[in-house]
Amino acid sequence: MDTIIQLAVLMTGTLGLAIPFGLYIARMISFEMRPLEKTLSKVESEFYRLVGIDATKQMTWKQYFFALFLTNMVVAVFIILILTFQNYLPSHENFKGLSLDLAFNTAISFVTDTNLQHYAGDQQLSNLSQMIAITFTQFVAPASGIVGAFALIRSFIRKNFGLGNFYVDFIRVILTLLLPVAVVSSLVLMAIGVPQTLNTTITAHTLEGNKQDIRVGPVASLLAIKQLGSNGGGFYVANSAHPFENPTGLSNMYEMFLMFVIPLSFLIAFGKLIGKWRGVSILIAILISFGSLLILAFSANSGPSLLETRFGNFGSTLFNAISITTNTGAVNSSLSGMSSNAIMSFLIAMFVQAIPGAVGTGMMTMIMYVVITLFVVGLMVGKTPEFLSMKISPRDVKLAVFVFLSHPAIILIPTVIAFATGSTQAIMGSTGGTGHHITPMGFTQTLYEYTSAAANNGSDYFGTSANTPFWNISTAIVIFLGRFVPIGLMLAIAGSFTVKDRREVIEPIKTQGPVFITVLVVVTFLLTAVTFFPFIVIGPFSL
C-alpha cells in the first residue's frame, strides 16, 4: 500500500505541476504574454543586445538547425579545452587534465544531453571543471532539445512565417525556464541535505576514531539541472546512488519529480496550441506505455545486492525507470543489481525514446511516431495521410521513417564492431566471456552501452572501465549521430509543414480519442518489437 501511495503522490504531483508549466511553455512557443512579461522581456533584450541578436529575424529549418548545431559545437570545443587543460586553470586542486579521447567523449556526451560518464567525477574533475564544463553544459544541452521542439510545434500553427529564431528561443529557455527552476530546486535539495560549497573536502570522524576526507563541492546546483534537464551527469561516480547526491527517500522522490515534469509539460503545451484532446490523447498514450514498462520492470524483484538499502527494490526500480524513460540516465543503484525484466523495460524505453523521452526531443520523437501511425493507417484504409489539416507528403513519411530506422542502425552496427574487434572482451573478461565466447550478460551490457549512447540517455554498465580510446571514440560518434541526425530530419519535416496549405480534411484516423490512443500505442510498440526483439531475446531475456 505504501508503494502505491508513493506512486500516486508522484504522478499526481507531477501532472498537477505539468499543467502550469505546460501553459507557460505554450506561451513561449507562440510568443504570447507570459507572467512578468515586462521584466522578462527587459532581461532578454539586454542579452540580445549584448550578443548582437536580431530578435525579429525568423529562420528557415536549415538556418535553425545550423544555428543549433554550431552553438553546440562551439560549446563542445570549449569543454574539451577546459577538461584537457584543467590542471593549468585556477583551483585545479592537483587534478590532471583528462586525456584527449576522454575529454572528447565527455564534451560530446554532455553537449548532446547524454551525459555518459567514462570518468569518475569526484576523483578526476576539479570544482571549477564541475561548474563550467559540467553544470554549464547541462543548461545548454536541454535548452537545445527544448527549442527544437518549439520549432517543430510552431510548424503546425504558423504558415510561411519561419520556425522562430534559435538564439532568441535558446536564451529565453535558459533564462526564464531552466535557470529559475534550477535555482529553486537547488535550494530545496540543500534543505534536504545535498551539499553546496566551494570547498573541496570535509573531514569526517570514522567509527574507528580515525579521520577521513570526503570530497564535496557545488553538488546541489549540479544535481538540480542534472535532473530537471534530462541530463543525468552526476558529481560523483556513483551518481544518484551516492548519499550526497541522493541522501533520503524524500530526495529520491523530489528528483523523480524533477525528471518527469518538463517532458510531461510539453504534452500540455501541445494540447493548448494544437487542440486539448489531441494533447490529452498523446499524454494518455504515453502514460499507458510508461505504465506497461513499469509493470514489466516490477514483475521481478531487483537486488537485494547492489541496491541502496535506503531505497530498496521499489525506490530503486521506480527511480531508474523514470530516469531511463525520460532519457535522463541518472541511476540510484547499480544496473547490475536490476532484474533482467527491469533491464528489458529500460532497453525498450530507450528504443522508443518517447515514453515520454527527454525534454523537447521526446516530444519530437512522438510526433514522428504519429506521422508513421497515420501513414500506416492510411495504407490500411486506402486514404492519403493527413494531420492537422495538412497533407503528409511521401517526403515527410520518408524522413520520419529514416528517423526511426537510423536509431537501430547506429546501435547495432557498433555493437557488432565492438565484439568483432575484441573490444568488449577486453574490458569485460570473465563477466562477458573469455576468448570468443560471449555470455548473454556480456551481450546485454554492450547492447545497453550503445543503446544508451544512441538514445542520448547516458546510463551504462561499464562506467570508468570504458575509458579506452575505442569506447570513448565509438560511443561519442554514436552519441553525436543519435542527437543531431534525428533533430535535423525532424526540423526538415517542420520546414515542410510550414509551407503546406491548411484545409479541412478527414484524417485517416481522428488524432484524438480511445481509437487513436490504442493504435498509436500498438504501432509504436509493434515497430519497436519488429526491430529489436531478436536482440532482446539473446540479451536480457536470456539472463
Mean pLDDT by 10 residues, the chain (543 residues): 84 95 95 84 84 88 96 97 93 87 97 96 94 96 97 87 90 94 97 93 82 90 96 93 94 96 96 92 96 95 88 94 96 94 96 96 95 91 84 92 95 95 82 61 94 96 95 98 97 92 78 94 94 90 81
Residue 362 lies in a domain: no
Q: How far apart are CA 304 and CA 335, in angstroms?
A: 12
Same domain, 216 and 71: yes
Q: How far apart are CA 437 and CA 137, in angstroms?
A: 40
Same domain, 404 and 535: yes
Residue 357 lies in a domain: no
Last residue in a domain, options 250, 269, 288:
269
CB-count burial class (<10 Å; 0-12, 13-18, 19+) for 191? exposed
Residue 91 lies in a domain: yes
Count the Cβ atoms, other than its own, within 10 Å of residue 305: 8
Last residue in a domain, options 269, 291, 324:
269
Same domain, 59 and 201: yes
CB 126 within 8 A of CB 95: yes
What is the pLDDT, as a whole number, of residue 521? Answer: 96
3-state SS of 166-235 is HHHHHHHHHHHHHHHHHHHHHHHHHHHCCCCCCCCEEEEECCCCCEEEEECCCHHHHHHHHHHCCCCCCC
Dihedral over Cα of 298, 233, 117, 534: its sign: positive
- Cis ω for the linkage preceding 304 (within 30 of 0): yes
Residue found by looking up cell 530516469 in the block:
323
Look up the pTM and report it.
Answer: 0.95
Same domain, 265 and 382: no
Looking at the structure of the chain, the number of domains it has is 2
Please state the φ and ψ torsions of residue 211, each to the nearest 5 degrees: -110, 145
Residue 344 lies in a domain: no
Residue 144 lies in a domain: yes
Q: How far apart are CA 185 and CA 222, in angstroms?
A: 10
Residue type, 54: D
Residue 86 lies in a domain: yes
Last residue in a domain, options 247, 269, 291:
269
Residue 41 lies in a domain: yes
What is the pLDDT, as a whole number, of residue 329? Answer: 94
- Strand partners for 25: none
Q: How far apart are CA 520 and CA 490, in angstroms?
A: 19
H helix intervals, 219-359: 219-228, 249-274, 276-298, 312-325, 340-352
Range of the domain at 494: 378-542
Residue 281 lies in a domain: no
What is the pLDDT, as a whole number, of residue 436? Answer: 54
